[in-house]
Amino acid sequence: MSTRAGASILRSGRLGHAQAMAVTGGGVALAAVAFWLTPLQGRAGFLLVAYLAGVVAYLLAAARIEGRRSVVDRLAAVLMVTTVGICLLALGSVLVYTAVRGVKALDWYFLTHSMNGVGARDDAGGAYHAIVGTLQQVLLATLLAVPSGLLVAIYLTEYGRGRLASVVRTVIDVMVGIPSIVAGLFIYAFWVLGLGRGFSGFAAAMALAILMLPIVVRSAEEMIKLVPPELREAAYALGIPRWRAILRVVLPAASAGITTGVMLAVARVTGETAPLLLTAFGFDSINNDPFSGPQSSLPLFVFGQASSAFGAAVDRAWAGALTLIAVVLILTVAARLITRRNRLV
């Protein structure tokens, strides 16, 4: 058998999992030896060099056994896994670090008391007033943004034609990139100063609704476009009016994706601080009326406590951040459960 034929037979094989692990481990071992024999040092540097050495060894083994064409496919798979791993590592690091720092001050007392009369050095005080403010403000913003956003999305997908639809899409695209402070300044100039309504949770909700609206419109529009046209045609064939077909057929079919977009919008605005500084202003006592007087929120609470130089206040800030993550998680899970139940029905 010739050398060329032997190479062809060799490349017709597959790189097994055991072989891939052994080759990758060899690359990591070479990186360890390099760090031992050279002035290279540092954990981060070792992890980077070991990863690159392992990947290169893995790809060289794949090229030797499977051929050049397979290397491109494996390289793409490595890049995808790497990017996913980096994203998960960043998210996991934030969650774990916040949980470790925040659990120290997070207890039932923290969740049921406010900061009224509590100093920065005191170990007492909690975020109850901020939790109430966040829930009310986000709820009001959702009630303002979601119905109007769905109506705009339905218009763009089902009725919008010509120049007006193009103008609406352009405006929505521009709103996506608006800095949050601009929304807060607009409400501050129009509502707080212009109309003389003063600081309130409702003013904060309007600023948050401005930030939520383009996300809801864009996500709902894309989800409605994915609904098969056969469903609409079947509804029209039964004599169902267009508006009822949209309400009873199109929206339920796209409900899962729309809910995901809504929860993305909620998560986007729940942690906003800049608009709230100009609209809600912040308040250390409990204010259950979002339409009258300054009101606190979890982002404002975290911002105010983290700005302090005292350890007790910083611990409260971490506990508030952990509470904020928990609130977003609970709202997301609840929305998923509701959407799943409606879809099954």
Compute CA distances 271 → 19, 184, 276, whole Å.
Answer: 47, 14, 10
How would residue 171 be classed by pLDDT, with cut points 50, 70 and 90? very high
Is pLDDT larger for residue 96 or for residue 31?
96
Q: Which residues, 6+ apart, have CB-to-CB distance to 51 below 8 Å?
A: none
Cα separation, 251 vs 248, whole angstroms? 7
Cα(first)–Cα(last) distance of the chain, in Å?
Answer: 67
Dump pLDDT digits (tens) for 55-66: 888 888 888 887
Dump pLDDT digits (tens) for 66-119: 777 778 888 888 899 999 999 999 999 999 999 999 998 899 999 999 999 887
Q: Is 167 helix (H, G, I), strand (E, B) or coil?
A: helix
- Which pLDDT does position 1 carry in this prediction? 44
- Which pLDDT does position 297 carry in this prediction? 94
The residue assigned the tokens 């350890």 is 311
Q: Which segments of 67-161 does DSSP mark as H helices, in order?
A: 68-102, 108-112, 128-154
Cα separation, 254 vs 277, whole angstroms? 36
> What are phi and psi for residue 295, nearest 5 degrees?
-145, 145
Compute CA distances 288 → 130, 161, 291, 342, whole Å.
Answer: 10, 45, 9, 32
**Residue-wise DSSP of 68-83:** HHHHHHHHHHHHHHHH
Q: Is 273 helix (H, G, I), strand (E, B) or coil?
A: coil
Dump pLDDT digits (tens) for 104-156: 889 999 999 999 988 778 888 899 999 999 999 999 999 999 999 999 999 99
The residue assigned the tokens 């969650």 is 95
Compute CA distances 278 → 145, 175, 191, 236, 252, whole Å.
Answer: 20, 19, 11, 49, 38
Cα separation, 184 vs 266, whole angstroms? 17
Q: Which residues, 6+ apart, have CB-to-CB distance to 152 below 8 Å?
A: 168, 172, 213, 217
Dump pLDDT digits (tens) for 186-199: 999 999 999 999 99
Cα separation, 269 vs 142, whole angstroms? 10
**At residue 35, does pLDDT exceed 80?**
yes
**Which residue(s) pair with 281 in the sheet?**
295
- Which pLDDT does position 42 carry in this prediction? 81
How would residue 341 be classed by pLDDT, with cut points 50, 70 and 90? low
Percent of the chain beyond pLDDT 70? Answer: 94
CB 141 within 8 Å of CB 216: no
Percent of the chain beyond pLDDT 90? Answer: 50
Beta-carbon count within 10 A of 299 CB? 27
- Which pLDDT does position 339 carry in this prediction? 66
